Chains A and B, each alone.
Chain A
């Protein structure tokens, strides 16, 4: 029965193809994830009208399964022609040799001018100086804060640097009293600490593939982060312990929260209308002056195994057009990576997007090693222990370095061998 069904499926295109008037259509297989995967379907018909010779087949993946599915597809030689790829995964798939370098194509495509992209997000797609993805949208995190509480605590502007932030947190804590806090960093998310770590001058992973958490910069970041909890400015709580983060924010349980653009819509919808004037977004404060944030988001990539790269590139070009990006932003709320798009009235007039617009000029990619996600998971686990008082700051950075070195052992071996052989056998990014 299954065999029959499979046969029928395999034969179907032949029968269908024979009825169709244009049998020579190029069929593009593209994979997209989550909400973007749904929305891309609404943009594709226009593309198909413009290029009648190309038919686009969109496969939607849930974000949680996408990484596995892509890896399995790579091993099984069943990659699509183009995909939306989280840009923190770009180094990994570049290391696998799965991605097509795009430098030549970008150079030959005037409608994708490098200068119109925010440098931080563009850089997150560079591995070893080669470009492997065209930024599609940006997911960076910054401060969501309670304007009214901050005002009552005596401040008329959000913090610009850590010292001022800390000062404001202390003032807020004094104002709200016991049982309430100034900030909330969910212990089961590594992103807040990751961002504070990115703000340090030293990279968290060195070029010779070692953990660099004991550097003075990261130590300062971790001490700042843990200090908020040790001094009672932030609760020692995971997000599973907070039933409804919007309710708690509304009740003033905390006033600072580091999160991303998708929350703008949630805050608008979930906070009561009467309280809408009380919250605002602000760029990340840094150790001294405005700080960087993570250059997250998704890129559009082509796969080496594809035989239809030219057609797939046309779709990349189409999706990168400013007019399409404005529509895409309207559909998803995702932040466009192009400078010119931010000047459009849709984005320029959005008061909540303004802080993100400012943050776009200060983006930094997470360390470009395939192991980063694993190291970031350790970052979460170790800092959670430290927040619970099981480790001191010094012990925590030592533990982080130990775990990172262990995770990166294989990479060091490959780098060493590459040096010995002289010529790289595989494209291992360093």
Chain B
């Protein structure tokens, strides 16, 4: 009894902070999403109407929402596997016994994660410049004509993916690296004695050993990538032809420049539902995979 009370006492500060700064705002936002809160309501609260599910219905009827959803899905579909493969490849390289200067490379690969996004976005805009960019210069070297990375609606999202993957893969790399180091050396040794080659060892020893880590990484990455915002905000402002408007960017535009906070809150909850559903699917899939 006494012990229980002490335990509550210990968690109370965290609970209060969470309640005050997380659950309360979330609940307020949920209520907001059932209203038409806008600048008129800021001027006079009498101008606020409860509109029930109108915001949600209106959202589903807004073409830009579907476009933003499509753009975001495209980004996730392209970016998450690419990002995890990059992280995995970098982690495998760093974990290899033949690798030298491990500390140095670990730092180099991790460096983009800790740099300021806005600053590196400026550099990437130079790299991706149609006429003077390093990327097109390199592509030109192997005979590929100049690509208007940030101006062509077909290439703008791949350009954002490239930038995001480069910026983020170091973080997952560290987690995967930690996972790699927990796989007992004996398993590799046994596999080698049984005559497994490097690829078979990767397929049957390393990857199963990494499964829980990869699951966590994929959930986190997906959740993070669904919240695509800063990259298009800094690099393209959603353009060209709305090809880089993500759900979060759409929400931001509705919420801040236009001040439709009721509608923007509805977008936030729809995004939450989508991510919640996808995470459930991932958990289900992985259950089967790990068994």
* Interface residues in chain A, defined as those with a beta carbon under 8 Å from any beta carbon in chain B: 67-68, 71, 74-75, 92, 95-97, 188, 238, 240-241, 243, 370, 373-374, 381, 384, 410-411, 413-414, 425-428
- Bound CA span A374–B254, Å: 10
Q: How large is the interface on B (under 10, 10 to 19, 20 to 34, 35 or more residues)?
A: 20 to 34
In the assembled complex, the CB of A237 is this many whole angstroms from the nearest CB of chain B, namely: 10
> Quick one: which of B40, B47, B239 contacts A240, CB cutoff 8 A?
B239
User: Measured between alpha carbons, how far is A96 from B49 in the docked complex, in Å?
Assistant: 17
Q: Would B257 and A67 count as touching, CB distance under 8 A?
A: yes
Give Cα A410 to B259, complex, Å. Answer: 13
Judged by a CB distance under 8 angstroms, whether B240 is at the interface is yes
Bound together, the chains give a CA A238 to CA B152 distance in angstroms of 10
Q: Do A188 and B239 contact each other (CB < 8 Å), given the known contacts A68-B257, A240-B150, A241-B151?
A: yes
Could you list 9 examples of A-B contacts with CB < 8 Å?
A67-B257, A95-B40, A96-B43, A97-B43, A238-B240, A240-B239, A411-B40, A425-B46, A428-B40
Provide the bound-state CA to CA distance between A373 and B257, in Å.
10
Cα–Cα distance between A231 and B52 once the two chains are bound (Å): 49
**Residue in chain B with minimal CB distance to A426:** B44
Using known A-B contacts A188-B239, A238-B240, determine if residue A74 contacts B42 with beta carbons closer than 8 Å: yes
Of chain A, the residue at the smallest CB distance from B256 is A68
CB of B130 within 8 A of chain A? yes
Min Cβ gap B116→A in Å is: 17
Q: Which 5 A-B pairs have the closest CB atoms?
A: A426-B44, A240-B151, A96-B43, A68-B256, A97-B43
Distance of A427 Cα from B47 Cα, bound (Å): 12
Q: Is the interface of B mostly helix, strand, loop or mixed?
A: loop
Point out the residue from A75, A188, A241 that lies within 8 Å of B42, measured CB to CB. Answer: A75
Please state if A240 and B240 are interface contacts (CB–CB under 8 Å).
yes
Contact with A along B47-62 (1 / 0, CB 8 A): 1010000000000000
Question: Which chain A residues border B239 with CB–CB below 8 Å?
Answer: 188, 238, 240
Q: How far is the CB of B267 from chain A (nearest CB, A)?
A: 16
Closest to A95 in B: B43
A-B contact count (CB 8 A): 55
A41 to B27, CA, bound (A): 45
Instruction: Decide if B95 is an interface residue (CB 8 Å cutoff).
Output: no
* Residues on the A chain within 8 Å of B131, using CB: 243
B281 interfacial contact with A, CB 8 Å: no
Q: For chain B residues 10-45, which have a beta carbon within 8 Å of chain A?
A: 36, 38-40, 42-44
> Please, which residue of chain B has its CB at the minimum distance from the CB of A238?
B240
From the candidates B40, B148, B150, B241, name the one contacting A414 in the complex (CB within 8 A): B40
Compute how far the CA of A92 lies from the CA of B241 in the bound complex, rounded to whole angstroms. Answer: 27
In the complex where A243-B131, A414-B40, A426-B47 touch, is A71 in contact with B259 (Cβ < 8 A)? Answer: yes
Query: Which B residue's beta carbon lies closest to that of A388?
Result: B241
A238 to B243, alpha carbons, bound, how many Å?
14
Measured CB to CB, the closest approach of chain A to B265, in angstroms, equals 15
Given A71-B259, A92-B39, A240-B240, 8 new contacts (CB under 8 A): A67-B257, A240-B150, A370-B39, A374-B258, A384-B241, A410-B36, A426-B40, A428-B43
Chain A: CB-nearest residue to B49: A413
Question: How long is the Cα–Cα vector from A76 to B240 in the complex, in angstroms?
Answer: 34
Q: In the complex, how many angstroms separate the beta carbon of B287 from the nearest chain A beta carbon? A: 44
Measured in the bound complex, the distance between the Cα atoms of B40 and A344 in whole Å is 43
Residues in chain B near residue A414, CB distance under 8 A:
40, 47
A373 to B258, CA, bound (A): 9
Asked if B39 contacts A71 (CB within 8 A), the reply is yes
Closest B residue to A92 using CB positions: B39
Cross-chain contact B130 with A96 (CB below 8 angstroms): no
Q: Give CA–CA (A28, B148) in the complex, Å.
A: 48
A238 to B49, CA, bound (A): 39
- Give Cα distance in the complex from A411 to B43, angstroms: 13
Residues on B with C-beta less than 8 A from A95 are 39-40, 43
